[in-house]
Chains A and B, each alone.
Chain A
Amino acid sequence: MPKKVRIPTPLRKLTNDEEVIEVNADTVGGAIAELQTKFPGIQERLLDENGGVRRFVNVYVNEEDIRFLQNQQTVLKDGDEISIIPAIAGG
């Protein structure tokens, strides 16, 4: 079973309005690279010049923030769901 990436509204222009993209990559970093080959331009929205995830982008694997896991090295298993969410807050 492939893994799924949920694309946030602001990025759907780049993915032909598709909300969920299937990937086969084994890590979060690999998934981002795979998105880039499918939808050129998406990578620079997610990663800064140093290749790190942009500070206002939160990435979750099965609802766990990757910063609590292994960041882009986080390993993905079949059926995992990756969500990309712009950071927000307030309360």
Chain B
Amino acid sequence: MDTNNGFMKALKCRECGREYPLAATHVCEFDFGPLEVVYDYDRIKASLTVPVIRSRPQSMWRYRELLPVAGDPTVGQQVGFTPLVKADRLAKRLGIRELWVKNDTVNYPTLSFKDRVVSVALSRARELGFTTVACASTGNLANSVAANAASAGLKAYVFIPSDLEQGKVVNSLVYGANVIGIRGHYDEVNRLCAEIAGKYGWAFVNVNMRPYYAEGSKSMGFEIMEQLGWKVPQHTVVCMASGSLLTKIHKSYQEFAKLGLVPETKYKIHGAQATGCSPITTAQKAGMDFFKPVKPNTIAKSLAIGTPADGFYALKVMKETGGSGEDVTDDEVREGIKLLAETEGIFAETAGGVTVGVAKKLIASGHIPPDASAVLCITGNGLKTLDAVVGHVGQTREIKPSLREFEALLERETRLVTA
């Protein structure tokens, strides 16, 4: 066994196929194509079986042969294995036979799916000798890097747009990370980080560590398949910022089938965006293979990436699987958040509202047939984007501490309802 690289073989350019050593690099020197981790699937097949998986602790690391860390993970050992909730009440409201919610709103430790990718990136960064980690973020990634870096004793710099929701800002500062607010939108933050990463010797989880980081998202798909009883869902709806999560869900389904862990079945993956930042779904609906960059303008700030680097690949996955793209307005996002909360008791952030809102549209339009089974990937907790729903979820009714007043209140409301 190659103890230097675990089950990884090399980094490979997704555009031209050139291979590179497993270092902290993310772009092909020839055409700037993104690099992806390549695994030794033959060796993994011998090592990763259903009984082995079942014997391991309930975390994302039960699938560790398929994650790009050579040795044992040293950061985020308890991340993942979030609930897969059977959402019968929501299914009924949306008019679909069977619906599941993969609930990363409760992921550990920072309540978003980002803990998956950060756990991988930081474990690998440690292996490569880094002591300072960093990221460009629309919010959730900053929280996750800040928290996980603190728990691992790593120094952290997180770069965010300065107008980010307060919940997310405080949520990064509290861990003692260096939080740098950039007066611009996410794409500008990203651009600056690319320049900083080139200059300092830091592990930017979504820049020079990106090939490792991105692989962490597969764990969401692995868990879905295991929790469904070792099968691939017919339909999966995934929200898209860069488009990376959607492509890695697809990869996770393919890997399990390749390893014989699930039967090979047809499946569709659908992409969800907010109308105010929908370069990928706009392209998909127009049947295009490439997207036009946009300037984001949406309450779904976690999805506000106008130049999505995985946009091409996300389009390809939707095309290959026969999935559809759809987007929703800010009002529909809020409705989606409320619907999920009221039917299933799950409070998702705006990205979750996007996913629910899009699922509703896809079911209504028949892209997801009413007799189908679907999984919604809900990626972050609603407490992080309170601003988006404040003022839209009704009001408390205030009374004095008097039983008479309470009875009067109930009576008024009963009269209103029966009127």
A binding-site residues for B, Cβ under 8 Å: 6, 8-10, 13, 45, 48, 54-58, 60, 63, 65, 67-68, 83, 85-91
DSSP class of A's interface residues: helix, strand, loop or mixed?
A: mixed
Assess whether A89 is in contact with B290, with CB atoms less than 8 Å apart: no
Question: What's the minimum C-beta distance from A10 to chain B, rounded to whole angstroms?
Answer: 5
In the complex the two chains form, what is the Cα distance from A51 to B15 in whole Å?
17
Contacts of A85 in B (CB 8 A): 191, 194-195
CB distance from B314 to the nearest CB of A (A): 11
With A60-B191, A88-B190, A90-B136 already in contact, the answer to whether A67 and B293 are too (CB < 8 A) is yes
Number of A-B contacts (CB under 8 A): 98
Task: List chain B residues, Cβ under 8 A from A83.
Answer: 191, 195
Residues A89 and B198 in contact in the complex (CB < 8 Å), given A45-B31, A45-B32, A56-B31? no
Pairwise interchain contact A90-B32, C-beta atoms closer than 8 A: no
Q: Is the CB of A10 within 8 A of B29?
A: yes
Contact assessment for B198 and A8 in the assembled complex, using a CB-CB cutoff below 8 Å: yes
Q: How far does the Cβ of A63 sit from chain B's closest Cβ, in whole Å?
A: 7
Cβ of B217 to closest chain A Cβ, rounded Å: 10
- Minimum CB distance partner of A8 in chain B: B198
With known contacts A88-B207, A90-B206, A91-B242, A55–B312 Cβ distance under 8 A: yes
Please state if B140 and A91 are interface contacts (CB–CB under 8 Å). Answer: yes
Cross-chain contact A87 with B32 (CB below 8 angstroms): yes
Known: A56-B31, A58-B307, A67-B293. A90 touches B194 (CB 8 A): no
Known: A8-B198, A57-B32. A89 touches B191 (CB 8 A): no
Binary interface encoding of chain B residues 290-320 relative to chain A, with 1 for a CB under 8 A from any of its CBs, else 0: 1011010000001101011110100000000
Residues of B within 8 A of A6 (CB): 195
